[in-house]
Protein backbone atom coordinates (compact mmCIF):
# COMPACT_ATOMS: atom_id res chain seq x y z
CA UNK A 1 0.00 0.00 0.00
CA UNK A 2 0.97 3.65 -0.42
CA UNK A 3 2.52 2.94 -3.79
CA UNK A 4 2.39 5.58 -6.48
CA UNK A 5 0.09 4.65 -9.30
CA UNK A 6 -1.40 6.89 -11.96
CA UNK A 7 -4.97 5.98 -12.94
CA UNK A 8 -7.17 7.94 -15.34
CA UNK A 9 -10.88 7.27 -15.98
CA UNK A 10 -12.20 7.99 -19.46
CA UNK A 11 -15.21 7.42 -21.66
CA UNK A 12 -14.88 5.16 -24.71
CA UNK A 13 -14.67 8.25 -26.96
CA UNK A 14 -12.02 9.93 -24.79
CA UNK A 15 -9.94 6.73 -24.76
CA UNK A 16 -10.24 6.40 -28.54
CA UNK A 17 -9.18 10.03 -29.00
CA UNK A 18 -6.25 9.39 -26.64
CA UNK A 19 -5.17 6.48 -28.87
CA UNK A 20 -5.17 8.71 -31.96
CA UNK A 21 -2.56 11.07 -30.47
CA UNK A 22 1.19 10.91 -29.91
CA UNK A 23 2.28 10.27 -26.32
CA UNK A 24 5.79 10.16 -24.89
CA UNK A 25 5.06 7.85 -21.97
CA UNK A 26 3.72 4.29 -22.14
CA UNK A 27 0.25 3.45 -20.94
CA UNK A 28 -1.97 0.40 -20.56
CA UNK A 29 -5.75 0.39 -21.01
CA UNK A 30 -8.55 -1.53 -19.33
CA UNK A 31 -11.30 -1.37 -21.95
CA UNK A 32 -14.82 -2.15 -20.71
CA UNK A 33 -17.59 -2.84 -23.21
CA UNK A 34 -21.27 -3.59 -22.82
CA UNK A 35 -22.30 -7.07 -24.00
CA UNK A 36 -24.10 -7.15 -27.35
CA UNK A 37 -23.18 -3.53 -28.16
CA UNK A 38 -21.51 -2.81 -31.47
CA UNK A 39 -19.03 0.07 -31.38
CA UNK A 40 -17.95 2.32 -34.22
CA UNK A 41 -14.51 2.82 -32.66
CA UNK A 42 -12.24 0.98 -30.25
CA UNK A 43 -8.99 1.69 -28.45
CA UNK A 44 -5.82 0.45 -30.12
CA UNK A 45 -2.07 0.07 -29.61
CA UNK A 46 0.55 1.81 -31.72
CA UNK A 47 4.13 3.07 -31.45
CA UNK A 48 2.78 6.58 -31.79
CA UNK A 49 0.30 6.42 -28.90
CA UNK A 50 2.59 4.36 -26.63
CA UNK A 51 -0.31 2.10 -25.55
CA UNK A 52 1.53 -1.11 -24.69
CA UNK A 53 -1.33 -3.39 -23.69
CA UNK A 54 -5.13 -3.52 -23.61
CA UNK A 55 -7.26 -5.68 -21.32
CA UNK A 56 -10.65 -6.08 -22.99
CA UNK A 57 -13.64 -6.88 -20.76
CA UNK A 58 -17.37 -6.97 -21.37
CA UNK A 59 -20.06 -6.74 -18.70
CA UNK A 60 -23.19 -4.71 -17.96
CA UNK A 61 -23.42 -1.59 -15.82
CA UNK A 62 -25.53 -2.70 -12.85
CA UNK A 63 -24.78 -2.77 -9.12
CA UNK A 64 -26.35 -6.13 -8.34
CA UNK A 65 -28.00 -9.14 -9.98
CA UNK A 66 -31.63 -8.75 -11.04
CA UNK A 67 -31.35 -4.95 -10.96
CA UNK A 68 -31.80 -2.65 -13.92
CA UNK A 69 -28.66 -1.73 -15.81
CA UNK A 70 -28.18 1.74 -17.29
CA UNK A 71 -30.12 0.64 -20.38
CA UNK A 72 -33.13 -0.40 -18.24
CA UNK A 73 -32.52 -4.10 -18.87
CA UNK A 74 -32.63 -6.54 -15.95
CA UNK A 75 -29.06 -7.68 -15.33
CA UNK A 76 -28.44 -11.35 -14.68
CA UNK A 77 -25.47 -12.15 -12.42
CA UNK A 78 -23.71 -13.82 -15.37
CA UNK A 79 -23.71 -10.44 -17.16
CA UNK A 80 -22.02 -8.55 -14.29
CA UNK A 81 -18.28 -8.28 -13.60
CA UNK A 82 -17.28 -11.82 -12.56
CA UNK A 83 -14.55 -13.01 -10.19
CA UNK A 84 -12.35 -14.19 -13.06
CA UNK A 85 -12.45 -10.81 -14.79
CA UNK A 86 -11.79 -9.03 -11.47
CA UNK A 87 -8.71 -11.25 -11.07
CA UNK A 88 -7.62 -10.29 -14.60
CA UNK A 89 -7.94 -6.62 -13.60
CA UNK A 90 -5.76 -7.23 -10.54
CA UNK A 91 -3.06 -9.01 -12.57
CA UNK A 92 -3.14 -6.33 -15.27
CA UNK A 93 -2.83 -3.53 -12.70
CA UNK A 94 0.08 -5.33 -11.00
CA UNK A 95 1.85 -5.75 -14.33
CA UNK A 96 1.45 -2.08 -15.29
CA UNK A 97 1.36 -0.26 -11.95
CA UNK A 98 4.45 1.73 -12.96
CA UNK A 99 2.76 2.94 -16.17
CA UNK A 100 -0.20 5.21 -16.78
CA UNK A 101 -3.29 3.03 -16.35
CA UNK A 102 -6.31 4.20 -18.34
CA UNK A 103 -9.67 2.65 -17.51
CA UNK A 104 -12.59 3.32 -19.79
CA UNK A 105 -16.17 2.19 -20.15
CA UNK A 106 -18.86 3.60 -22.42
CA UNK A 107 -19.47 6.86 -20.54
CA UNK A 108 -16.50 6.91 -18.15
CA UNK A 109 -18.80 7.37 -15.17
CA UNK A 110 -19.67 4.12 -13.42
CA UNK A 111 -17.89 0.84 -14.24
CA UNK A 112 -14.51 2.40 -14.98
CA UNK A 113 -14.63 4.65 -11.92
CA UNK A 114 -15.62 1.75 -9.65
CA UNK A 115 -12.62 -0.25 -10.83
CA UNK A 116 -10.33 2.78 -10.66
CA UNK A 117 -11.42 3.46 -7.06
CA UNK A 118 -10.60 -0.13 -6.06
CA UNK A 119 -7.19 0.02 -7.73
CA UNK A 120 -6.40 3.33 -6.02
CA UNK A 121 -7.58 2.02 -2.65
CA UNK A 122 -5.40 -1.07 -2.98
CA UNK A 123 -2.21 0.69 -4.06
CA UNK A 124 -2.51 3.99 -2.18
CA UNK A 125 -5.05 3.34 0.57
CA UNK A 126 -7.12 6.25 -0.75
CA UNK A 127 -10.05 6.15 -3.17
CA UNK A 128 -11.23 9.72 -2.47
CA UNK A 129 -9.97 10.88 -5.88
CA UNK A 130 -12.91 8.95 -7.34
CA UNK A 131 -15.55 9.08 -4.62
CA UNK A 132 -15.12 12.82 -4.01
CA UNK A 133 -15.42 13.65 -7.71
CA UNK A 134 -19.04 14.30 -8.67
CA UNK A 135 -18.26 13.47 -12.31
CA UNK A 136 -18.23 9.82 -11.26
CA UNK A 137 -20.89 7.47 -9.94
CA UNK A 138 -18.81 4.38 -9.13
CA UNK A 139 -20.39 1.02 -9.80
CA UNK A 140 -20.21 -0.58 -6.37
CA UNK A 141 -20.40 -4.15 -7.73
CA UNK A 142 -17.22 -3.43 -9.73
CA UNK A 143 -15.61 -1.70 -6.75
CA UNK A 144 -16.22 -4.53 -4.28
CA UNK A 145 -15.47 -7.34 -6.79
CA UNK A 146 -12.13 -5.75 -7.63
CA UNK A 147 -11.26 -5.14 -3.98
CA UNK A 148 -12.12 -8.78 -3.23
CA UNK A 149 -9.82 -9.93 -6.05
CA UNK A 150 -7.03 -7.85 -4.49
CA UNK A 151 -7.80 -9.51 -1.15
CA UNK A 152 -8.83 -6.13 0.29
CA UNK A 153 -12.46 -6.74 1.24
CA UNK A 154 -13.87 -3.93 3.38
CA UNK A 155 -16.56 -5.90 5.17
What are the tens digits of pLDDT across the range 114-151? 999 999 999 999 999 999 999 999 999 999 999 999 99
What are the tens digits of pLDDT across the range 18-69? 999 999 999 999 999 999 889 999 999 999 999 999 999 999 999 988 887 8
Output the CA torsion sign for 112, 1, 151, 91. Answer: positive
Other CB atoms within 10 A of residue 69 CB? 19
List the CATH code of the domain at 6-150: 3.90.190.10
Alpha-carbon span 20 to 47, nearest angstrom: 11
151: left (phi over 0), alpha (psi -120 to 50) or beta: left
In this prediction, residue 82 carries a pLDDT of 97
pLDDT above 90: residue 72 = no
pLDDT above 90: residue 71 = no
Tell me which of 2-11, 14-23, 86-95 is least confident: 2-11
**Spatial CB neighbours of 40, under 8 Å, sequence gap ≥ 6:** none
Q: In the chain, what is the straight-line distance between the N-terminal and C-terminal CA atoms, in Å?
A: 18
In this prediction, residue 68 carries a pLDDT of 77
Does pTM surpass 0.85? yes
pLDDT above 90: residue 152 = no
Alpha-carbon span 89 to 61, nearest angstrom: 16
The 3-class secondary structure across 94-134, one letter per residue, is HHCCCCEEEEEECCCCCHHHHHHHHHHHHHHCCCHHHHCCC
Share of the chain above pLDDT 70, in %: 96
In this prediction, residue 1 carries a pLDDT of 57
**Spatial CB neighbours of 131, under 8 Å, sequence gap ≥ 6:** 117, 138
What is the pLDDT confidence band of residue 2, given thresholds at 50, 70 and 90?
low
Amino acid sequence: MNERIKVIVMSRLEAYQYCKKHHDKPSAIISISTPYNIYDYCVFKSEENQVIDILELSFVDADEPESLDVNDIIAAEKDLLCDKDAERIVEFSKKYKDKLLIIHCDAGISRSSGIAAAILRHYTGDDAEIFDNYSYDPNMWCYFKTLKAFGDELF
